[in-house]
Structure formats: C-alpha cells, structure tokens
C-alpha cells in the first residue's frame, strides 16, 4: 500500500507543490491523503484542490486552547490514517499532546541550518550574523521547538548582495529538492527515529543529518 502523507500548511504551499510534483514524476512513492491548513487563505489549499486532494481547514482562533485545537487536528486527520505527518510551512507551535500522538511519524522543515536560528526570521538573522552560508533542515519533531533530531540539511552560500528575500528564494529551492528525497526514504521505510537516534537503512545518521550535495 502507498505511504500516506498528511501535509500541514499555513501559507503558499510551495513545499507541498514540490511533494505533489515528485509524486507525479514518479520520484516519490507516496500519496498525499489530506492537506490541513490553520488558515482559510493559505495558497496551498488551492494547490491541493487542483490536485484533487481532500482539504481540512481548522481556524486555531476558534479553539479555546492549543490542546483543543491540536486534538481537533488529530480527530480530523485520523480518518486519513497518515503514515507520516509532514509540516510544510505550518506556523503553529504544537502541543505535547499532538507531538506524542505522532511520535516518530512527524517531520518538519525549517529554513535554517539547525541548531542555528530556531524560530522566526531566520534569513535576516543569518545575514545579520554575517554568516557565509545558510540553508534548511528537516527533522523529526519532538516537544522542543525546532529542536528534534536532524534528518537532512541543504546549504546555500550567502552572497554580498543577498537580502532576506533573495536568501529565502535560494533556500526554498533547496527545500524543494530536500523534502521529496527525505519523504521517499520514509515511503521506502528506510528512515526511522529510534532509541539510537535517526537511522537510515538501519544505520545512525550523523548529528547534523544527511548533507545534500
């Protein structure tokens, strides 16, 4: 049976699109079973609809607590039986309730070379620090914000004329290469979170994860 993905978004969904394109091109043996957004105006919802994928919109502001919202997400995702829950620009902090429910099956992409620059405004912070390189990281999600075990990273070099916007574009191109690759490892059951850390083909990965050439 196909590996079933639930993709969670809050924005334009270019990573979702890269995943859909990889499936279409035969590079990713998975199925996007559902796309969930916490914002009704997320551009990624139109991409999902275009691809004929069921969508769920849940406004976090309609819930009285983070836990109530997260429980509603769990309830709405359950019928789709996701093997992996993919955070693709989902801009909500998840409660331990949600993280524990999907432990070992919950993956996030973050626009920095973690452990550098957890949180927001990562491109501006890398520029401000005078870094010569920047990039993106994919990690298993744990209860520590942007702190879970690393699976893979892709780097970009920072040029003299880079702005947060130009850097964001460069990093996103790398994200679109990296997410389908990592998800194909999941689909092929090559990637797991174990007591020994992240393993690929049963072997522990280096602390910073696989480095995309």
Question: Which residue numbers are catalytic?
Answer: 110
Question: Quick check: 180 binds ligand GAR (CB under 6 A)?
Answer: no
State the DSSP H helix or E strand holding residue 17, giving kind and residue range, or none if neither: helix 14-24
CA 98 to chain centre: 15
For ligand GAR, which stretch binds (CB under 6 A), given 8-16, 33-41, 186-194, 203-211?
Answer: 8-16
Q: How many CB atoms lie within 10 A of CB 162?
A: 18
77 backbone dihedrals φ, ψ, rounded to 5°: -85, -30
Q: How far is the CB of 61 from ligand GAR (least distance, A)?
A: 19
Burial of 78 (0-12, 13-18, 19+ CB in 10 A): exposed
Query: Could you say which residues in the range 187-206 bind ligand GAR, by CB under 6 A?
Result: none
Question: Quick check: 175 binds ligand GAR (CB under 6 A)?
Answer: yes
Q: How far is the CB of 202 from ligand GAR (least distance, A)?
A: 28
The residue among 118 and 199 lying less far from ligand GAR, judged by its C-beta, is: 118
Burial of 149 (0-12, 13-18, 19+ CB in 10 A): middle
Q: How far is the CB of 1 from ligand GAR (least distance, A)?
A: 27
User: 141 near 124, Cβ under 8 Å?
Assistant: no
Q: How far is the CB of 9 from ligand GAR (least distance, A)?
A: 6
The residue among 9 and 53 lying less far from ligand GAR, judged by its C-beta, is: 9
The encoded tokens of residue 91 equal 């801009």
The residue among 92 and 199 lying less far from ligand GAR, judged by its C-beta, is: 92
Q: How many CB atoms lie within 10 A of CB 156?
A: 19
The residue among 199 and 208 lying less far from ligand GAR, judged by its C-beta, is: 208
Where does this chain bind ligand GAR (CB under 6 A)?
A: 9, 11-15, 44, 88-89, 109-111, 136, 172, 175
């Amino acid at each position: 049976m196909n590996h079933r993905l639930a993709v969670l978004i809050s924005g334009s969904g270019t990573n979702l699109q890269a995943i859909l394109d990889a499936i279409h091109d035969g590079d990713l043996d998975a199925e996007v079973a559902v796309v969930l957004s916490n914002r009704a105006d997320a551009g990624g919802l139109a991409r999902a609809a275009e691809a004929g994928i069921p969508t769920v919109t849940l406004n976090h502001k309609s819930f009285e607590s983070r836990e109530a919202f997260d429980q509603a997400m769990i309830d709405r995702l359950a019928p789709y039986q996701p093997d992996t829950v993919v955070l693709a620009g989902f801009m909500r902090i998840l409660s331990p309730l949600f993280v524990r429910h999907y432990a070992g099956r919950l993956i996030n992409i973050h626009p920095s070379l973690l452990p550098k620059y957890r949180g927001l405004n990562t491109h501006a912070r890398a520029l401000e620090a005078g870094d010569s390189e920047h990039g993106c990281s994919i990690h298993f999600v744990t209860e520590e914000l942007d702190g879970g075990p690393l699976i893979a990273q892709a780097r970009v070099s920072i040029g003299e004329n880079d702005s947060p916007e130009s850097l964001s574009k460069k990093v996103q191109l790398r994200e679109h290469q990296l997410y389908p690759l990592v998800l194909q490892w999941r689909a092929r059951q090559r990637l797991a979170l174990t007591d020994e850390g992240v393993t690929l083909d049963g072997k522990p990965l280096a602390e910073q994860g696989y480095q995309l050439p």
